[in-house]
């Protein structure tokens, strides 16, 4: 729409688009309003919309992921959730906690440790996607309830993984952010189910997925009506054995350019070893990440999953301090 187009003119465009069988998405930016019309690329006669009042121009954008793209939503999307929390705003949001919820004592110690240094989002897996069926699979629903209880005790929000479409209702009843694991990035039934809930989704990049595939996966959730999607870089399968996965740091600025969705970096699963986690976390913030997802365990040596890459409370505390400094250097603040 032209700068200064009236809301009546926008409504008229929306009405006419619906008549053409399209589903309009209105995006109100600071400078102008964009009406995104999702449809097949051969959609006829869109140009006639350009004659309506207030329309500046009709642009055909051939995209596999229009809703995820910055073309349709030029301004950064800010996801608000929980008690006054935001992902994608001026602050770099730190989310931290153990890989898996193991029990009350472990979770309480982890939550207290990360809360003490200002973290307001507790991570922890109740449903775990383990490579081996013989590894600890998580506590399931009791773990989820424990996560909620401990987070509430510390006035924290909860981020946790949802493994399957059948679990979406249960997990969204207790979590503030629903995490889709790397192994599930292309589980389209799950993504469709997440499109129908009113909960932020953190979509992790698959171990061998391109940026474009990640954005198309995000599109599944957005197209279902859930606009609260954040993307997470957590490392790709590479040939270098000294790390678990190779963190694709370049994907951060690339995603930020192609999409207005918030971008989170998970340094833990990429590093695979605690000693490399701080450097990757700081690199993520320097590259423009809107958030970090970090594994912290009160006693990494006894962890039931991902102990080798989990920071102990002391190392995490040092990292949070450094994150604040790097965030300040790139004009942001750590939260
Ligand atoms: C996790 O965050 O605990 C996890 C399983 O991560 P990913 O899906 O990235 O492997
Ligand atoms: Mn893990």
Ligand 1, atom 4, lies closest to the CA of 181
Distance 162 CA to ligand 2 centre (A): 14
**Count of other CB atoms within 10 angstroms of residue 233:** 30
Distance CA 203, CA 222 (A): 12
State residue 234's pLDDT score: 98
pLDDT per position as a tens digit, 199-230: 999 999 999 999 999 999 999 999 999 999 99
User: CA 75 → CA 27, 222, 257, 316, distances in Å?
Assistant: 9, 16, 11, 32
Distance CA 12, CA 6 (A): 10
Angle at which helix 141-153 crosses helix 104-116, to 10 degrees, equals 40
User: CA 16 → CA 35, 48, 66, 97, distances in Å?
Assistant: 12, 10, 20, 49
Distance CA 171, CA 180 (A): 12
pLDDT per position as a tens digit, 291-316: 999 999 999 999 999 999 999 999 99
Q: Which ligand is nearest to the CA of 272?
A: 2
Distance CA 70, CA 228 (A): 15
Evaluate whether 132 touches 305 at the Cβ level (below 8 Å).
Answer: no
Domain spanning 79-334, CATH class: alpha beta
For residue 180, the ligand 1 atom closest to its alpha carbon is: 8
User: CA 260 → CA 24, 44, 176, distances in Å?
Assistant: 18, 28, 21
pLDDT reading at 44 higher than 80? no
pLDDT reading at 287 higher than 80? yes
What is the average per-residue pLDDT within 132-151? 97
Distance CA 252, CA 329 (A): 17
Tell me which H or E stretch contains 97: strand 91-97
Distance 115 CA to ligand 2 centre (A): 19
Q: Rounded mean pLDDT of the chain?
A: 95
Ligand 1, atom 5, lies closest to the CA of 181
Distance CA 19, CA 220 (A): 24
Least confident of 23-27, 40-44, 270-274, 314-318: 40-44
Res. 136 pLDDT band, cuts 50 70 90: very high
- Give residue limits of the domains in the chain: 7-50, 79-334
Distance 156 CA to ligand 2 centre (A): 20
Residue 92 CB partners (closer than 8 Å, separation 6+): 285, 289, 290, 291, 292, 323, 327, 332, 333, 334, 335
pLDDT reading at 43 higher than 80? no
State residue 46's pLDDT score: 82
For residue 179, the ligand 1 atom closest to its alpha carbon is: 2
Ligand 1, atom 3, lies closest to the CA of 99
What is the average per-residue pLDDT within 50-73? 90
Helix (H, G, I), strand (E, B) or coil at 88: coil
Relative to beta strand 85-87, strand 91-97 is unpaired
pLDDT per position as a tens digit, 224-281: 999 999 999 999 999 999 999 999 999 999 999 999 999 999 999 999 999 999 999 9
Res. 72 pLDDT band, cuts 50 70 90: confident
Residue ranges lining ligand 1, Cβ < 6 Å = 99, 125, 129, 181-183, 204, 234, 266, 269
State residue 32's pLDDT score: 86
Residue of 110, 128, 139, 266 with the most ligand 1 atoms within 8 Å of its CB, for mutation? 266
Q: Which residues of 132-143 are buried (b: 16+ CB within 10 A; e: fewer)?
A: eeeeebbbeeeb
| DSSP structure string for 216-276 | HHHHHHHHTT---EEEEE--B--S-TTSSSB--TTHHHHHHHHB-S-EEE-HHHHH-SGGG
Distance 94 CA to ligand 2 centre (A): 16
Q: What is the chain's percent helix, strand, coil content, to nearest 5? A: 40, 20, 45
Ligand 1, atom 10, lies closest to the CA of 182
CA angle 213, 216, 219 (to 5 degrees): 155
pTM: 0.91
Evaluate whether 144 touches 170 at the Cβ level (below 8 Å).
Answer: yes
């Amino acid at each position: 729409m032209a700068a200064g187009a009236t809301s009546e003119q926008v409504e008229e465009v929306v009405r006419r688009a619906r008549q053409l069988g399209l589903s309009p998405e209105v995006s109100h930016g600071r400078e102008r309003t964009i009406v995104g019309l999702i449809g097949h690329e051969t959609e006829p006669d869109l140009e006639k919309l350009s004659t309506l009042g207030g329309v500046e121009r009709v642009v055909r954008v051939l995209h596999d992921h229009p809703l995820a793209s910055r073309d349709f939503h030029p301004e950064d999307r800010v996801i608000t959730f929980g008690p006054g929390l935001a992902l994608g705003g001026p602050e770099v949001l730190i989310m931290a906690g153990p890989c898996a919820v193991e029990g009350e004592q472990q979770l309480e110690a982890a939550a207290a440790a990360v809360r003490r240094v200002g973290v307001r989002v507790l991570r922890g897996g109740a449903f775990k996607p383990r490579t081996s069926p013989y590894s600890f699979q998580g506590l399931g629903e009791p773990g989820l309830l424990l996560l909620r209880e401990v987070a509430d005790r510390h006035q924290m929000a909860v981020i946790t993984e949802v493994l399957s479409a059948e679990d979406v209702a249960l997990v969204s009843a207790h979590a503030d952010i629903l995490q889709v694991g790397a192994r599930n990035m292309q589980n389209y039934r799950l993504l469709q189910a997440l499109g129908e809930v009113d909960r932020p989704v953190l979509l992790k990049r698959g171990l061998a997925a391109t940026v474009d595939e990640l954005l198309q996966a995000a599109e599944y959730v957005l197209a279902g009506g859930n606009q609260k999607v954040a993307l997470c870089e957590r490392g790709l399968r590479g040939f270098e054995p000294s790390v678990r996965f190779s963190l694709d740091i370049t994907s951060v600025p690339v995603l930020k350019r192609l999409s207005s969705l918030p971008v989170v970096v998970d340094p833990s699963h990429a590093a695979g070893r605690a000693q490399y986690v701080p450097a990757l976390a700081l690199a993520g913030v320097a590259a423009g990440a809107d958030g970090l997802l970090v594994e912290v365990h009160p006693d990494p040596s006894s962890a039931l999953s991902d102990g080798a890459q989990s920071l102990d409370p002391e190392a995490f505390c040092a990292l949070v301090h450094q994150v604040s400094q790097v965030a300040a250097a790139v004009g942001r603040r750590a939260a």
